[in-house]
């Protein structure tokens, strides 16, 4: 009788350990950018970025050009005192540098503003994925495109959408195999 009880206890311990190990080894994947895109108020961030591009970047180039011309003309005037002439030349050169590197400068400013605007949304998306993973027993969550070859994992996006109360659009039908 003692052997049967010991064997039953041993089987129970193995079952519990096996269950907890399996729960910790549950794998999933998620596209964090897609999670951000389904957040309810992300359209506000999109509009802020569009306004920034239009008002701050597109309207800035004509300003820099006019300031360059103004400073350059001050620097070239014969009646301009030497100290002012030197200062105007330096400022004109700074404006010229911005104009010559406008594409790079505007892209850098756009990226900076984008990180500023979307940063809180990515933080919120990460916290949401973390919460959903814990609630559903996932011990590992990978970025969807992080691994080239991996065993199949569960997609957390539907669970995140459910938690947000957002309905996901229907996925496009897969192309038949052999189709090009």
Q: Judge contact between 48 and 117, C-beta under 8 A.
A: yes
Q: How does pLDDT run across 66-122, given as a tens digit for each residue?
A: 999 999 998 898 888 989 989 999 999 999 998 999 889 889 999 999 999 999 999
Sheet harboring 154-155: ordered strands across?
140-143, 27-30, 154-155
What is the pLDDT, as a whole number, of residue 166? Answer: 87
In the chain, % of residues over pLDDT 90? 51
pTM of the model: 0.64
Assigned token pair, 94: 């700074």
The mean pLDDT value for 40-60 works out to 89
> What is the reported pLDDT for 7?
44
CATH number of 27-164: 3.30.910
pLDDT value of residue 55: 84
**What does the pLDDT read at residue 153?**
87
Report the percent of the chain where pLDDT is more than 70. Answer: 81
Tens of pLDDT along 57-68? Answer: 888 889 899 999
pLDDT for 129-175, tens place per residue? 999 999 999 999 998 887 778 788 889 899 999 988 888 877 654 44
Higher pLDDT, 53 or 17: 53
pLDDT for the residue 127: 96
Q: What is the pLDDT of residue 49?
A: 93
Residue 9: per-residue pLDDT: 43
């Amino acid at each position: 009788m003692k052997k049967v009880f010991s064997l039953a206890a041993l089987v129970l311990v193995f079952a519990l350990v096996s269950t907890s190990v399996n729960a910790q080894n549950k794998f999933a994947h998620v596209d964090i950018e897609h999670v951000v895109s389904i957040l309810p108020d992300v359209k506000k961030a999109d509009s802020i970025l569009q306004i920034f591009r239009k008002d701050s970047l597109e309207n800035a180039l004509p300003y820099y050009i006019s300031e360059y011309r103004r400073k350059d003309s001050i620097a070239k005037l014969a009646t301009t005192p030497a100290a002012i002439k030197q200062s105007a030349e330096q400022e004109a050169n700074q404006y010229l540098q911005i104009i010559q590197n406008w594409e790079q400068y505007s892209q850098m400013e756009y990226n900076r503003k984008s990180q500023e605007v979307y940063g809180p949304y990515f933080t919120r998306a990460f916290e949401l994925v973390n919460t959903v993973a814990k609630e559903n027993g996932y011990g590992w969550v990978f970025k969807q495109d992080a691994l080239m070859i991996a065993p199949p994992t569960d997609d957390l996006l539907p669970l995140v959408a459910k938690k947000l109360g957002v309905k996901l659009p229907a996925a496009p039908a897969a192309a038949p195999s052999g189709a090009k």
